Structure 1
Amino acid sequence: MRKSQRMYLFNFIFIIICVLMLFGGNGTDINKTIEPLTIHQKSKASSQESKSSFETSVIQKLKNKQPVTIVAYGDSITWGYGRDATRGNVRQVKNPYPKVLEKELRKKYGYNNITVINKGHPGWTSIQALENIEEEVLIFSPDLVISMFGINDARGHNKYSPNALPVLIDQYKENNRQLLQMIKEKGIEVVIISSTTITSKKNNANKTQIHYTNTIKTLAQEEKVKYVNGTDIPIKGNLSDGIHFKGDQYALIADKIMVDIFGTY
C-alpha cells in the first residue's frame, strides 16, 4: 500500500514538472515571437509616417517633378513696383521677383509645371494681408506661400494704414501670427521674409524698421516656419526711390530665396 502511494506521488510530481516545463517553454517562445513582431510593427508605422511627411514636402515634389504651385504674397516689393522713366507713371516691372523665381525653379528642377503666382499689392500692410488671405492665397490651394509684409507697416500708408501711421508692433506681430496659422491649418508650407531694407525717412521708418524685422524673425521661430532675412539683400545702388528696387534688381530677392530655401549656391 505504501509502495503504491509512493508511486502515485512520484507520478503526480512528475506530471506537474512536465506541465510546468511545457507551459513555461511555450510562454518563453510566445514572448520571443511577440516581441520582435511588436518592434517590427512600430518600426513600420514610424517609417510610413516619415515617408508620408517627406513625400508631401515642396522640395520632394519638385524633385519628383510633380506639379507645384507657390503664392508670393506681399506688398509693392512682391508686385514689382516701378515708374516709367519718361512719364513717371507707376507700372509693374518686366521681371518682378515671383516671375524670376519661377524661371529659376524650372531651370533648377528641369521641368515647367511649377507656377509662382504673384499676389503683391502696393501699399498693403499686414492688416490687408490678413483680411484678404482667403481670396488672395488660400483659394489657390498652393503647396507653398512666401509672405513678405512690413515696409508699409513701418512707414504707414495714406490709404491702407490707420491715419497713415505705422501699424503698431504688437498688432503687426498678431496679424502675421494669424496669417501663418491660417496657412498652416490648411496643410500649406510657408516661408516668411522680413521686408527688404529701406532708406525712406517717412515716420522714421529707416530707423524703426529694425523692430519689425526682429519681430517677424521671432514670430517665425515661435511658429516654426522657414525664415528669410530680407535685410541681407543688398540695396546699395539697387533702389530707385529709397524703397523699391530698380527693375532688374528685384531678381536679388528671388536669388536669396533660391539660396536659403531651395539650396542653390
Structure 2
Amino acid sequence: MKTLVCFGDSITSEEKSDDGSLRLSSRVRLSLQKWNVINAGVPAETTRVALTRFQEDVLRHDPDLVTILFGANDASRHRLIEVEEYKKNLEYMIEKLGPSKVILVSPSPVNERFQHARSNEELKNYAFAVRKLAKKYNTHFVDLWTEMINKDYCKMLNNDGLHFNKKGYKLLADLVIRKMEKISKSQASKRMLLL
C-alpha cells in the first residue's frame, strides 16, 4: 500500500471539523482507499517549527507522496517568517524528500473582514513563492491560491476568516485527489513504456 503524508498547519490538521464534516486527510482516505493516508498537521505551525518534526512526522514513514501546505502562519504578523526563509524551509523539505514525492500546495486567501493577523497582499507573496519553487524543482503543484481567488473564497472559510468550512475542504481535497490520480496515471504510463 502506498503512503501519503499530509504535512502542514491547522488547515491540514485533524480528521474532522467541529461540525463533524471531513477535513483533508479524511476526504483523501475515503476517496483513495488503496492509500495509507497519514495526517501530519499541527495547528499554529510555521515552516521553521515544522522542520523540527520533519524527520519524525514525515521522513520516517518513507512516503510515496507528501502534500506540503504552510504559509498562513508564516505570513502572520505575530509569527512572521520572512518569504526568503519560508522558501528555504520548503526547499529543505523538497530536497530531503525528492521533488517527485512532493505535492506543494500554495496557501489560501483569507477573509480580511474577520482576519486581522494576515493580509491577502502578504499571503499572495507566499503563494507565488510556492508556485516558483514548484517550477524550479518540478514538483507536483496544487495552486490553491488561484483556485480560491477565482471563486467566492469567503464562502469557503469559517467565521474566523482563515480556516476552511465544508466547502473549503471539499475544494482542497478534490484538488489533491485529482492531482494524485493524475500522478498515478502518469506513473502507470511510464511503467507500461518500460515493459
TM-score higher than 0.5: yes
Q: Which has the higher contact order (CA 8 A, sep 6+)?
A: 2
TM-score (norm 2): 0.81
CA distance in 1, matches of 2:25, 2:18: 21
Q: Deviations over 1:128-180 (max 9, x none)?
A: 12221101101111111111001101114xxxxxxx24211111111111111
The CA deviation at 1:182 is 1.0
Counterpart of 1:139 (choices 35, 60, 63) is 60
Cα 1:198–1:81 shift into 2, 3 Å: farther
SS at match of 1:154: coil
Residue 179 of structure 1 is aligned with which of 72, 89, 93? 93
Comparing both structures, which one devotes a greater share of its residues to helix? 1
**From 83, 90, 97, the counterpart of 2:24:** 97
Distance 1:80 1:249 in 2: 15
Q: Output one character per residue of 1:41-68: Cα deviation in whole Å (capped at 9) or x when no partner.
A: xxxxxxxxxxxxxxxxxxxxxxxxxx11
Higher-Rg structure is: 1
2:176 corresponds to which letter in structure 1?
A: I
For 1:79, the equivalent position in structure 2 comes to 13
Residue 188 of structure 1, CA deviation: 6.6
Following superposition, the deviation at residue 251 of structure 1 comes to 2.2
1:215-230 equivalent positions in 2, closer than 5 A: 215-230=129-144
Provide the TM-score with structure 1 as the length reference.
0.61
- Check if 1:207 corresponds to 2:128: no
Which residue in 2 is equivalent to 1:151? Answer: 72
For residues 4-36 of structure 1, the C-alpha deviation after alignment (integer angstroms, 9 at most, x for no partner) is: xxxxxxxxxxxxxxxxxxxxxxxxxxxxxxxxx
Match of 1:197 in 2: 109
Distance 1:73 1:165 in 2: 19
Matched, 1:257 2:176: yes
Q: CA deviation at 1:205?
A: 2.3
- Identity fraction in percent: 27
| Runs of 5+ unmatched residues, structure 1 | 1-66, 86-92, 107-112, 157-163
Distance in 2 (alpha carbons) for counterparts of 1:149 and 1:132: 14
CA contact (8 A) 2:100 2:139 kept: no
Letter in 1 for 2:132: T
Amino acid at match of 2:81: V
RMSD after superposition? 2.4
Mapped to 2, the partners of 1:225 and 1:143 lie a distance apart of 13
Gaps of 5+ in 2: 184-195
